[in-house]
Structure 1
Amino acid sequence: MFRNREVRQFALFFFLLTAAAVFLGFIIHPAAGALAGVSAVLYGTAFFLFTKARYKSLVHISEQIDLVLHNADHIFISDAEEGELSILQSEITKMTLRIREQNDALKREKEHLADSLADIAHQLRTPLTSANLILSLIEKTADEKERKALLRETEELFVQMEWLINSLLKLSRLDAGIVSFQRATVDVNLLINTAVRPLLISMELHNIELRTDVPEGMTIQGDLSWLSEAIQNILKNCMQSAGDNGRIGIVCEDTPLFGEISIYDSGNGFKKEDLPRLFERFYSGRNGGTAGYGIGLALCKSIITRHGGSITAKNHPRGGAVFCIRFPK
């Protein structure tokens, strides 16, 4: 208690004041001096006991804080009665719980980052291994046509890697919240055309039929560039599922409550066990032969949800997969 400079200063001031009061009291009358001395002793004792009790409570609070700092599982427990110390303990308890929540969140983010880095390394290792094998084959192959075919295959692998890295960077930017979406009125016809245009040649090569049904004048609010990226990722998934001579359809509906974009294909649909995890990052299905990296649909969902929309996937009753995107009005 007396380590506190303010307490020492107050004790010195009180002693000097008491000495002066007793001295003056004895000058006036011996009884007055004695009364001043007794009163000073009583007041000093009461102050000492009260201050000691307060410091004992402060020491207890300090010990509790030290336990919280050195033991993540310890919870600060307030046992003070009503008063300033009770308010202080209540605030410390709130701070402790908030720090604990933030600490748990940081632990989860750290674990998620470690898992993500492991997944990224695994995803990049696959095309790199394939590229190395093809390059070794090129070195041993004398036939010019075969060498050109292997070079084209290598080029496709590097294109896949470039897409994977770009998609991962976009996901990271979205997760970090550093992407600023433009909020503008987007014509849905323009949005669908923008998403489909880069895929038309590939669709023609694989003889995939595309049908669209978009109401005239239908609009939604959002960023044309990012939304077209999301829809393009769904279309790529549908093209892969539909295969050669397949069909893809895009049907839009404009209601007073929401704008809906439905995309379906003529493929085999989804396995029942895959449906709940389709939009998980790096999940590419339980079927070992499933192609893809499990990035496109995760990126698609991230873009759409950050626009305030929702996306679901299901199997069509007549076969194939259906993706349903909704944007509330």
Structure 2
Amino acid sequence: MLRNKVFRTFLVVAAGICLVATGACLAVNPWSGLFCFLGCMGVLSVSILFTRQQYHEIAELSLYLQRVANGEVLLDIRDNSEGELSILKNEIYKAANALTEQADALKLDKSELAAALSDISHQLKTPLTSLGIMADLLEEEHLPPEKRREFLASMRQGLDRMEWLVLTLLKLARLDADAAALTKTPILLSELIKKALSTMLIPIEIKEQTVHVHGEDTLVQCDPNWTVEALGNIIKNAVENTPIGTVIDIAYGKNLLYTFIQVRDNGPGIDNADLPHLFKRFYRGNKKHPSIAEDANSVGIGLAMSRTILRKQNGDIDAMNDNGAIFTLKLYR
């Protein structure tokens, strides 16, 4: 305590007051001076005891903060009694608790980032390895022209895959960092569906699939470009995971809570074990139907990006099974 300049000043001032008071009382009566001296010493002793107790509690708070800084488990130091020290304890506990939660969140983010980087590295490594092998094969002088064309087509496909992956990851990074400006403008649901389908017409034709679009047209407030991207990923998923010659049903409309677009296919549906993880990045579920070959270009980020886009616009997306997979995009009103 004596290291504290304020406490030393208090002792000097209190001792001076005691001496002055004792001297004044002695001038009146010796017994009065004695009682005055004893009274002053008693008050001073009680003050020192209370001050010492407060210093002890402050030292405990300091030790508590050191333990928090070292990452130890938090102890509940909240105090429901009155007084400034109790208020300080409660505020320190709140601040320490918030810092601990932030530290846990940072650890989780770091773990997820490491996993994402590992997945990205794996997704890029596969086409790069194939490109390297095909480049070596193309150097052979006696390679037949048809094989050369086949290898060049495969290399172009690999480059397109890497380009798509990198661009998609950049879009996700922009969304995560709130760097992408989502501007809400009114647009008809039928227009959104038309724009999203325009990019999938060739794959739909190749698989001889039929798309049935129906519903109650209505205006919705959203960012058209980003919403078309989200819907396009869902339609792409339906096309890729639905057998040849089947029907994809797209319904749209509104209710009291939200405007919706529902994409339904009559494929094998989604494995129940996959449903809780379907919108996680780089998650690739198991196909239940043996006739559906797993798409080589699927890296498990399309559905994740669709949900991110919807949630950035006060919306959401969910999936379920009902004689096939059903994805419902919702934009709350």
Task: Give the shorter-chain TM-score range.
Answer: 0.7 to 0.9
3-state SS of 2:181 partner: coil
TM-score normalised by length of structure 1:
0.88
Deviation at 1:227, TM superposition (A): 0.4
Deviation at 1:54, TM superposition (A): 2.1
- Matched residue, 1:169: 170
- Matched residue, 1:197: 198
1:24 aligns to 2:24 (yes or no): yes
Deviation at 1:2, TM superposition (A): 1.1
Change (3 A) 1:243 1:126: farther
Whole-Å Cα distance in 1 between the matches of residues 98 and 249 of structure 2? 49
Deviation at 1:225, TM superposition (A): 0.7
Deviation at 1:6, TM superposition (A): 0.5
Contact 2:320 2:326 in 1 (8 A): yes
Q: Which amino acid is 2:311 matched to? A: T
Change (3 A) 1:71 1:248: closer
Whole-Å Cα distance in 2 between the matches of residues 146 and 212 of structure 1? 42
Whole-Å Cα distance in 1 between the matches of residues 276 and 34 of structure 2? 88
Contact 2:79 2:90 in 1 (8 A): no
Contact 1:283 1:294 in 2 (8 A): yes
3-state SS of 2:329 partner: strand
Whole-Å Cα distance in 1 between the matches of residues 10 and 237 of structure 2? 79
Instruction: Give per-residue Cα distances to partners, 1:257-277, cap 9 Å, x unaligned.
Output: 432212233544333433333
- Which stretches in structure 2 are left out of the alignment for 5+ residues? none
Deviation at 1:186, TM superposition (A): 2.0
Which of residues 305, 313, 317 in structure 1 aligns to 2:311? 305
Whole-Å Cα distance in 1 between the matches of residues 301 and 190 of structure 2? 26
Contact 2:78 2:86 in 1 (8 A): yes
Contact 2:262 2:327 in 1 (8 A): yes
Identical amino acids, percent of aligned pairs: 33
Change (3 A) 1:78 1:219: closer
Between 126-135 and 271-280, the greater mean CA deviation after superposition: 271-280
Deviation at 1:192, TM superposition (A): 1.4
- Matched residue, 2:8: 8
For 1:127-146, list aligned pairs within 5 A.
Answer: 127-140=127-140, 142-146=143-147
For 1:11-160, list aligned pairs within 5 A.
Answer: 11-78=11-78, 81-140=81-140, 142-160=143-161
3-state SS of 1:107 partner: helix
Between 108-117 and 137-146, the greater mean CA deviation after superposition: 137-146
Q: Which amino acid is 1:182 matched to? A: T
Taking only aligned residues, the RMSD between alpha carbons, in angstroms, comes to 2.6
3-state SS of 1:227 partner: helix
Contact 1:316 1:322 in 2 (8 A): yes
Change (3 A) 1:282 1:239: same
Whole-Å Cα distance in 1 between the matches of residues 50 and 276 of structure 2? 64
Whole-Å Cα distance in 2 between the matches of residues 247 and 79 of structure 1? 65
Change (3 A) 1:275 1:67: closer
Change (3 A) 1:187 1:79: closer
- Matched residue, 2:330: 326
Change (3 A) 1:16 1:271: closer
TM-score normalised by length of structure 2:
0.87
Q: Which amino acid is 1:226 matched to? A: W
Deviation at 1:78, TM superposition (A): 4.5
Instruction: Give per-residue Cα distances to partners, 1:66-118, cap 9 Å, x unaligned.
Output: 33332422424356854332222222222222222222212111111111111
Whole-Å Cα distance in 2 between the matches of residues 150 and 266 of structure 1? 35
3-state SS of 2:199 partner: helix
Contact 1:78 1:93 in 2 (8 A): yes
Q: Which amino acid is 1:194 matched to? A: K
Deviation at 1:9, TM superposition (A): 0.8
Q: Which amino acid is 1:293 matched to? A: V
- Which stretches in structure 1 are left out of the alignment for 5+ residues? none
Whole-Å Cα distance in 1 between the matches of residues 330 and 299 of structure 2? 25
Deviation at 1:35, TM superposition (A): 3.8
Whole-Å Cα distance in 2 between the matches of residues 315 and 27 of structure 1? 100
For 1:228-243, list aligned pairs within 5 A.
Answer: 228-242=228-242
Between 15-24 and 101-110, the greater mean CA deviation after superposition: 15-24
Whole-Å Cα distance in 2 between the matches of residues 213 and 134 of structure 1? 46
- Matched residue, 1:219: 219
